[in-house]
Amino acid sequence: MPSLWIQNARVIDPASKRDSVGDLFVKNGKIVASLSAADKKSARKIDAEGLVACPGLVDIHVHFREPGQMHKETIETGSRAAAAGGFTTVVCMPNTSPVADTAGTIQLIKDSIARTACIKVHQTGCITVGMKGQALAPIGSLARAGVVAITDDGDCVQSNELMRRACEYAKMFDLPLMDHCQDHSMTVGAVMNEGVMSTKLGLRGWPNAAEDIIVSRNVILATYTGARIHMQHISSRNSVEILRRAKSRGVSVTAEATPHHIALTDDQLATYDTHFKMNPPLRTEEDRLAIIEGLKDGTIDIIATDHAPHTDYEKDKEFDYAPNGILGLETALAVTLDVLVKQNKFKLTTVVDLMTRKPAAIVGLDVGTLAEGAAADICLFDPNEKWTYDAKAGFSKSANSPWHGKELKGRVKTTIVDGKIVYDGKTIR
């Protein structure tokens, strides 16, 4: 593998507190302080003037649909979409077919990752058998099989006692427990946020309280058991405040926000466009602003996409019957830069931290830094380049994005994994 010499970039690495214009050097797949004269002569040079060089982005909440739902996405196509979005590490959810609740299924997925993924892909295991919320999955076996967390994402565990036992096992095996916070009894038949817009549209509403109750439950269980509980895709302003108070007491909870929940509100559903249908639903402007404030003060720890591919024929249905979820990987950086940096004056270094070092730390992955000796996982992007996103021409197998045809600002130019260029701004290698 030839050495790499990235020149004249604005290098941002929150882990090592670096934010300066300079060069990056890569040898044998690792970040090095410099190259020898001979290595510089033979190195592949990348002129990155005007670009930002940061650690490869890390997303700990994606759905690659393999095995069993490969008409929507595969590990190969999902990893390619991730690379095009600047991501070098992702963590897949276990709601596949079959669900990832046994060591055998985990191994099947890992074998496919080794064969087809162009970036680093990690897997989670289920909390309960079949994701049915009735009996614990073999968490010890899943840990030995190499899962980085346990979750029933998409099917929140409703039994408080079962969740307590899951917390105890997760702590025993030093695994974070990720939870999709939803009280099912409050959301039967619900398809969007409960509020003025749901009343106008005549659609069944989904109250904030359905999320708030489970977030509160998880705070209590994290306090009681000492387990590390990560709250997925927070959407309610009340949940943000519950987490803020819990963190002030030192409770071991973390949380994520998605690009779509910081950018969009339920007003977008006025035309019944199913590309704006998701779980949890888009909420009000007050909720959106509370999430942004939570990211600003550290109450919400990270950005994660909840990349959820669906085919066009699945989404092209009456609103009540269309599945929840949208694509997220190829647009995440641009959308997040627009909302947080441009509109809300976040520092660029803060946004990079939300998408690199911090998510890696939650699941204990040794990535997300450009420190000397680290794996050379690098994202080069132009924060000022405008471009129009064409979901149908993207790298995902599906095209269900609310940003299809929209002009975005901030574009990934190169993605590097272990010193190898996997995306050059046009093609996946």
Query: Known catalytic residues?
Result: 306
Torsion of CA 255, 261, 265, 269, to 10 degrees: -120
State the DSSP code for 7: E
Per DSSP, the three-state class of 21 is strand
Distance CA 302, CA 298 (A): 9
Say if residues 73 and 397 touch (Cβ distance below 8 Å): yes
Given a contact cutoff of 8 angstroms between Cβ atoms, the answer to whether 89 and 320 are in contact is no
Count CB neighbours of 77 within 10 A.
22
Q: Quick one: three-class SS letters along 193-216?
A: ECCHHHHHHCCCEECCHHHHHHHH
**Number of neighbouring beta carbons within 10 Å of residue 194:** 21
- Between strands 420-423 and 177-179, the pairing is unpaired
Spatial separation of the C-alpha atoms in residues 47 and 141, rounded to whole Å = 47
Token pair 């997303």 is found at 59
